[in-house]
Amino acid sequence: MINNQLNITIISPFFFPEPISTGKFNTEMALALKAKGHHVKVLCFHPFYPSWKISKSSEQIDGIEIIRGGKFLRFTKNSTLRRIILELSFSFFMFRNLLKLRKKTDIIIPVFPPSLAFYLIHFFLKKSTKKIGMIHDLQEIYANQKTSIISKVIAKSIHVVEKGCYKSCDSLIFLSQEMKDFAQNLYDLPTSKLKVQYPFITIDSKNFTNDLEIILPNTHKHIVYSGALGEKQNPQGLYNLFNFCSEQLNGVMFHIFSQGNHFEELKEKNKNTKIKFHSLVPKNNIEELYRRSNIQIVPQLAGTSKGSLPSKLPNLLVSGVNVVCITDKGSEIELLFKRNNFKTIVTSWDTEKIKDIFEKLLKDDFEKSNQIEVSKKLFLIDSMIDKILN
């Protein structure tokens, strides 16, 4: 372990006070590095995810230097254009702050995606600065899901940029073995600098609130999706599943807690009184949300499991809630669940089959102590920090 105080810089558009996904992950990582006695600086945008609307923020975290940009950004509803705007604007922001990256930086942690910014600036960083890439998603996998000529050009560009980023890093930390193996083969990466570390638990099992009774009353059972709702979660497929199951299961309500364009489109079209749409709950109510949920669903668009491993999965598992993951056959999540005797994996979007699984989970009270204890040992932030510092 490195004992001297280090100057560590995290670069990612996503950061505090964003409540979910990469923003929450980056915040907890920064706090953990600060707790180890290191000076942590974060270059990020003002909060915008998952609504994709900039919300100007002057909020600070004691002991962490936050440099924000993107104050006047505007994103479109088109997901491809939105990502292009993000990549280009964050690259511009990073060039504006290049001197801050060169000055007194022992370790720089680019969190991918986005990737273009680091691809362009890494040539200007000091050779003595250790570059540790944190890979949340492999964007090439998602780009290859689309078949238009423009999409193919974008996929080729992503390949060049991601490969350049990964090659330039001294070490890479992937959030799943599946991502690591795929990237290693795709980009011809040396094994010596590749590491795997699952996402870490960020909730407190002792936190107890009682604020959600009105929207999740004990008079019904509740099947819930909560979190970001983008293309990789297959939002229309999720809605179709809930719509089908609502006609088959009595006494059950279906809920989607999220924000963003897909969320708003589904909410506007929804005519089913058994499907409810809600804003994301405050951070201090996450544990209550899981406690009041009979089932939490983790959906993945078919063919995309190699692209990412949901960072909220450790929180769901350690909470003891019934978790149903819809993923690809042979995926990392399927192997993880089978290896640790977690419930429940589905490897297709077969609505009848998933409805039967819901019915069984709602009827039977499965023992969760194994799920909780294994999760506490498996998803540790200390393991992530050790891989960064060692």
344 prior amide bond cis, ω within 30: yes
- What is the reported pLDDT for 2? 45
Identify whether residues 309 and 344 lie together within a single domain. yes
- What is the reported pLDDT for 146? 67
Q: Residues near 311 by Cβ (< 8 Å), separated by ≥ 6?
A: 21, 22, 24, 25, 136, 175, 199
Mean pLDDT taken over the chain = 91
Distance CA 312, CA 138 (A): 17
In a domain, 286, yes or no: yes
Taking alpha carbons only, the member of 96, 184, 108, 175 closest to residue 381 is: 175
Identify whether residues 170 and 316 lie together within a single domain. no
Distances in Å between the Cα of 206 and the Cα atoms of 227, 286, 366 are 21, 12, 21
- What is the reported pLDDT for 331? 92
Query: For 167-211, what is each residue's pLDDT tens digit?
Result: 999 999 999 999 999 999 999 999 999 999 999 998 877 778 889
Query: For 110-158, what is each residue's pLDDT tens digit?
Result: 999 999 999 999 999 998 999 999 999 888 777 666 667 777 788 888 8
Per the CB < 8 A criterion, the answer to whether 20 and 228 are in contact is yes
Identify whether residues 127 and 241 lie together within a single domain. no
Which tokens in the block code for residue 56?
A: 């100007």
Identify whether residues 172 and 300 lie together within a single domain. no
Distance CA 369, CA 139 (A): 36
Identify whether residues 247 and 168 lie together within a single domain. no
Distances in Å between the Cα of 210 and the Cα atoms of 179, 203, 262 are 38, 16, 29
- What is the reported pLDDT for 145? 66
In a domain, 2, yes or no: no
Which tokens in the block code for residue 102?
A: 């060169």
Identify whether residues 189 and 235 lie together within a single domain. no
Identify whether residues 164 and 27 lie together within a single domain. yes
Identify whether residues 252 and 344 lie together within a single domain. yes
321 is in which domain, residue-wise?
221-377
Per the CB < 8 A criterion, the answer to whether 254 and 246 are in contact is yes
Name which residue leads in pLDDT, 3 or 8. Answer: 8
Distance CA 365, CA 385 (A): 36
Query: For 252-310, what is each residue's pLDDT tens digit?
Result: 999 999 998 999 999 999 999 999 999 999 888 999 999 999 999 999 999 888 888 88
Q: Residues near 149 by Cβ (< 8 Å), separated by ≥ 6?
A: none
CATH number at residue 117: 3.40.50.2000
Number of domains in the chain: 2
The pLDDT of residue 1 is above 50:
no
- What is the reported pLDDT for 223? 97
Q: What is the DSSP letter of 106?
A: S
Per the CB < 8 A criterion, the answer to whether 63 and 31 are in contact is no
Q: In 10 A of CB 292, how many CB atoms? A: 19
Distance CA 305, CA 330 (A): 9
The pLDDT of residue 248 is above 70:
yes
Mean pLDDT over 240-254 rounds to 96
The C-alpha R_g of the chain, in whole angstroms, comes to 21
In a domain, 158, yes or no: yes
Q: In 10 A of CB 153, how many CB atoms? A: 11
Identify whether residues 52 and 170 lie together within a single domain. yes
Distance CA 169, CA 160 (A): 15
Identify whether residues 235 and 328 lie together within a single domain. yes
Distance CA 33, CA 233 (A): 31
Query: For 211-221, what is each residue's pLDDT tens digit?
Result: 999 999 999 99
Identify whether residues 13 and 112 lie together within a single domain. yes
In a domain, 216, yes or no: no
pTM: 0.88
Query: For 346-382, what is each residue's pLDDT tens digit?
Result: 999 999 999 999 999 998 777 778 889 999 999 999 9
What is the number of helices (H) and of strands (E) in the chain?
15, 13
In a domain, 49, yes or no: yes
The pLDDT of residue 390 is above 50:
yes
DSSP H stretches of helix in 144-274: 149-168, 177-187, 235-248, 261-269
Q: First CA to last CA across the chain, in angstroms?
A: 6
Distances in Å between the Cα of 94 and the Cα atoms of 45, 161, 291, 327, 347 are 11, 16, 41, 35, 40
**Residue 15 corresponds to which amino acid?**
F
Identify whether residues 190 and 238 lie together within a single domain. no
